[in-house]
Amino acid sequence: MDILTWTWIIVGLSFALYIGIAIWSRAKSTGEFYVAAKQVHPVFNGMATGADWMSAASFISMAGMIAFLGRDGSMYLMGWTGGYVLLAMLLAPYLRKYGKYTVPMFVGERYYSQAARIVAVLCAIFVSFTYVAGQMRGVGVVFSRFLEVNINTGVLIGMGIVLFYAVLGGMKGITYTQVAQYCVLIIAYLIPAIFISIMLTGIPIPQIGLGASLSEAGQRLLSTDAGFLLDKLNQIQIDLGLPAYTSGTKATIDVFAITFALMVGTAGLPHIIIRFFTTPTIKGARASAGWALLFIAILYTTAPAVGAFAKLNFIKSVHNKSYEEAPSWFKNWEKTGLVAWVDKNGDGKMQFAKGAAFKGKIEFLKDEKGQVMRGQHGERLVKTPVDSKTANEIHVDNDIMVLANPEIAKLPAWVVALVAAGGLAAALSTAAGLLLVISSALSHDLIKNVIAPHISEKTELVWARIAAFLAVSVAGYFGINPPGFVAQVVAFAFGLAASSFFPIIIMGIFWKKTTKEGAILGMLSGIIFTAAYIIYFKFMNPALNKPEHWFLGISPEGIGTIGMVINFVVTFVVSKITKEPPKEVQEMVASLRYPRG
């Protein structure tokens, strides 16, 4: 069977499983809708948290970032992993002990203010929509290649699936669906990595294969002599005018800022924090954090190997080849607009080098009948302006590297289809968690606690489902019109979370004299600064988005670190000059950190 048939079978079966679980575990109360009635076993909650955490950015985009950034790509790996440890140690147990449904609920009661709650609701919605845009984009990328529909149609299909099990099951349905999705995505991620590691090094453990020597079979596949895999990749990149794969090119301060923003942004993400409200006990919350870290580590320690394998196979399969000699994977992905080639030097060969091949998003030239026009070598003609300042002739979107990896390595069709199902599982699981955050923020924190506090539980559940529907619709729009590629969009969300939630949650737990005025002004100053910086450089003046124009040399992806510092400073200063919190609030804060009795 071909790839398309296998994809329909495997993706269809996985979707049927998700929908079946949603029907079986449908929510019948607000407690089940928001926090699964606090009855989720720590192991299952750890798996669900792993699926919630390992989004399209982790599954689809992170290894692609590592493949093209080399050592600099490790900032995503370190930031996201370190952030989860920070969350598990500093925040999760205390928030679980607090025992409410949502982060805005904690903010509202800890800071004894409806205004603080509303600001937290707005921040949660803003962060979650930014994050979910990347997930819906990931869904569209998978569908566009493997089910041969355009990206926009793929986003719409993904919206329908998420809407069904998120609206029907709430947190209860999402949790058990995410357990299934974790199993699908981790199997889909590991099988190609293991196969390729065996093919190149003879070692079945990718983490070890990354640092091993090429086997005789690997040498034949790559048409090279003996040596370490990373040494070969370094030399290939240097020969092409690229920096060595294991060297770094970004400024140290920017690497630090991005890593730190990802780390503290993790600890401030509402859709991850809410997972720790679903366990029966505080001990269960700690245990589920440990299990989640184990499940996350399986993928995160494999990603560097996947990135290196994909980059090596990619260069060897296309560089200095004519379009007629181009492998089938290149022409298959070319249909999606995520891969393109222009013959800059007229030699009829595809050259991969430093820099961009084109200026902007790829758009193909079409004739009067809507058919893509072809060049003299059979290549698809691109109407996007060519970047004449670089020698690079090949455009490859970062987001395809993991998805295309099995095809590049010529693995069986069923493996390629399995990776497609894994990518969809990763994107849909995180999208569902984010949409629930948006839904609960609107229905519980805004409508139930601010606008109409006397509505019944049944009415609140209806509003929660209406809010989920609206959230899915907006998420779909951003998936069709994304502000960047998947990992980049997600990095923005982490920066926004770092600059808004992390400081006021940390200070709310560990400093009982933090005031409502300090929290409100801290949240607003941090998120406004960070959002304004990102919007200015990414949307208003993209031509200025260069290190020489950045504040202290920090990119938009890392500016959340500065936003967080601003939040901390404003919160501290304002709390010092305003009236202390009421005595009962200070006692409540103290009780969060110490055992009762």
Could you tell me if 408 and 370 are in contact, meaning their C-beta atoms sit under 8 angstroms apart? Answer: no
> Is the pLDDT score of 571 beyond 90?
yes
Phi, psi of 380 (to 5 degrees): -75, 130
Extract the tokens encoding 573: 């200063």
Instruction: Say whether both 382 and 438 belong to one domain.
Output: no
pLDDT at 26: 62
- For the ranges 107-111, 127-131, 145-149, the lowest mean pLDDT is seen at 145-149
What percentage of the chain has pLDDT greater than the value 90?
Answer: 5
> Is the pLDDT score of 2 beyond 80?
no
Q: Which domain holds residue 357?
A: 320-408
Using one digit for the tens of pLDDT, what is the confidence trace for 324-335? 888 888 887 887
> Is the pLDDT score of 122 beyond 90?
no
| CATH classification of the domain holding 84 | 1.20.1730.10
Q: How far apart are the first and last CA of the chain?
A: 65
- For the ranges 73-77, 141-145, 251-255, 308-312, the lowest mean pLDDT is seen at 141-145
Of 138, 107, 136, 141, whose CA–CA distance to 121 is shortest?
107
Instruction: Say whether both 126 and 98 belong to one domain.
Output: yes
Using one digit for the tens of pLDDT, what is the confidence trace for 53-87? 776 667 777 788 888 888 888 888 888 778 777 87
Query: Which residues are within 8 A (CB) of 220 and not within 5 positions of it... i.e. 6 or more apart?
Result: none
Q: What gap in Å lies between CA 74 and CA 89, rounded to an integer? A: 22
Q: Please, what is the angle between helix 486-510 and helix 103-110, to 10°?
A: 30
> Is the pLDDT score of 597 beyond 70?
no
Place of tokens 């925040």: 91
Could you tell me if 475 and 130 are in contact, meaning their C-beta atoms sit under 8 angstroms apart? Answer: no
Q: What gap in Å lies between CA 356 and CA 387, rounded to an integer? A: 6
> Is the pLDDT score of 476 beyond 80?
no
Asked if residue 239 belongs to a domain, the reply is yes
Mean pLDDT of 406-432: 78
Q: What gap in Å lies between CA 484 and CA 203, rounded to an integer? A: 36
Q: Which helix (H) or strand (E) holds 177?
A: helix 151-201
- For the ranges 196-210, 289-303, 401-415, 450-464, the lowest mean pLDDT is seen at 450-464
**Is the Cα dihedral 390, 251, 304, 427 positive or negative?**
negative
Mean pLDDT of 362-378: 78
Rounded to two decimals, the pTM is 0.78
pLDDT at 561: 92
Instruction: Say whether both 418 and 381 belong to one domain.
Output: no
DSSP character at residue 385:
P
Q: What gap in Å lies between CA 244 and CA 595, rounded to an integer? A: 52
213: β partners: 228
> Is the pLDDT score of 361 beyond 90?
no
pLDDT at 477: 77
Instruction: Say whether both 364 and 492 belong to one domain.
Output: no
pLDDT at 377: 77
**How sure is the predictor about 44, in pLDDT bands with cuts at 50, 70 and 90?**
confident
Asked if residue 113 belongs to a domain, the reply is yes
Instruction: Say whether both 376 and 432 belong to one domain.
Output: no
Q: What gap in Å lies between CA 481 and CA 32, rounded to an integer? A: 33
Bridge-based pairing of strands 321-322 and 394-396 is unpaired
**How sure is the predictor about 515, in pLDDT bands with cuts at 50, 70 and 90?**
very high
Largest distance between two CA atoms of the chain? 81
Task: State the virtual CA torsion across 483, 50, 307, 10 in degrees, nearest 10.
Answer: -90
Q: What gap in Å lies between CA 45 and CA 394, rounded to an integer? A: 43
Instruction: Say whether both 283 and 344 belong to one domain.
Output: no
Q: What gap in Å lies between CA 505 and CA 499, rounded to an integer? A: 11
Q: Between 295 and 472, name the one with better pLDDT.
A: 295
Phi, psi of 545 (to 5 degrees): -75, 70
Instruction: Say whether both 39 and 181 belong to one domain.
Output: yes
Domain boundary among 386, 408, 430: 408
What percentage of the chain has pLDDT greater than the value 70?
Answer: 86
Domain boundary among 408, 426, 449: 408
Domain boundary among 374, 408, 442: 408
Q: Which helix (H) or strand (E) holds 394?
A: strand 394-396
Number of domains in the chain: 2
Asked if residue 394 belongs to a domain, the reply is yes
Asked if residue 461 belongs to a domain, the reply is yes
Of 31, 163, 34, whose CA–CA distance to 466 is shortest?
163
Mean pLDDT of 90-110: 74
Q: What gap in Å lies between CA 482 and CA 60, rounded to an integer? A: 16
Instruction: Say whether both 498 and 533 belong to one domain.
Output: yes
Of 537, 245, 240, 246, whose CA–CA distance to 390 is shortest?
240
Instruction: Say whether both 293 and 217 belong to one domain.
Output: yes
Q: What gap in Å lies between CA 512 and CA 520, rounded to an integer? A: 16
Mean pLDDT of 263-280: 71
Instruction: Say whether both 301 and 325 belong to one domain.
Output: no
Of 538, 432, 441, whose CA–CA distance to 475 is shortest?
432
pLDDT at 23: 72
Could you tell me if 316 and 75 are in contact, meaning their C-beta atoms sit under 8 angstroms apart? Answer: no
Instruction: Say whether both 368 and 254 belong to one domain.
Output: no
DSSP character at residue 101:
S
Asked if residue 315 belongs to a domain, the reply is no
Using one digit for the tens of pLDDT, what is the confidence trace for 156-212? 877 777 776 666 555 666 777 778 878 888 888 888 899 889 988 889 999 898 888
DSSP character at residue 360:
S
Asked if residue 178 belongs to a domain, the reply is yes
Q: What gap in Å lies between CA 509 and CA 207, rounded to an integer? A: 38
Mean pLDDT computed over every residue of the chain: 79
Asked if residue 597 belongs to a domain, the reply is no
4, 330, 453 from 350: Cα distances, Å: 27, 11, 64
Q: What gap in Å lies between CA 143 and CA 567, rounded to an integer? A: 40
- For the ranges 77-86, 140-149, 306-315, the lowest mean pLDDT is seen at 140-149
H helices then E strands: how many in the chain? 25, 4
Q: Between 530 and 278, name the one with better pLDDT.
A: 530
Asked if residue 331 belongs to a domain, the reply is yes
Query: Which residues are within 8 A (CB) of 368 and not within 5 positions of it... i.e. 6 or more apart?
Result: none
Could you tell me if 114 and 518 are in contact, meaning their C-beta atoms sit under 8 angstroms apart? Answer: no
pLDDT at 37: 47
> Is the pLDDT score of 363 beyond 70?
yes
Phi, psi of 372 (to 5 degrees): -65, 130
Using one digit for the tens of pLDDT, what is the confidence trace for 480-513? 766 554 555 666 777 888 888 888 888 888 888 8
Instruction: Say whether both 341 and 291 belong to one domain.
Output: no
